[in-house]
Amino acid sequence: MQTRNKVFEDISQLMTNAMGVAQGAKEEAETAMKSMLDRWLADRDFVTREEFDAVRALAQKAREENEALKARLDKLEDGGKG
């Protein structure tokens, strides 16, 4: 009986160790994948959300100023003809 319990304890210990190794391999693979993805994205010259929003705000402001200048020019041209 004692030998049988020892065998089960040994098998249990082996399974526990195998699960620890598998978990470590999983974490290592995830870290490697994240690193590769980060490098790939950096090589693509993507912009951050903050940079995109800043440029979009500048474009919106320029568009509004352009519309205001066009309205002013139209007003001046209409005034010169009348």
The one-character DSSP state at 45 is T
Tokens of residue 80, six digits = 């010169």
- DSSP assigned state of 44: T
The pLDDT, as a whole number, for residue 64 is 97
Instruction: Name the DSSP letter for residue 47.
Output: P
Residue 67 predicted with pLDDT over 60:
yes
pLDDT at 80: 64
pLDDT greater at residue 9 or residue 69 = 69
For residue 48, which phi and psi values (nearest 5 degrees)?
-80, 165
Q: What is the pLDDT of residue 36?
A: 94
pLDDT in tens, 3-62: 778 888 888 999 999 999 999 999 999 999 999 998 898 888 888 899 999 999 999 999
Domain ranges for the chain? 1-46, 47-82
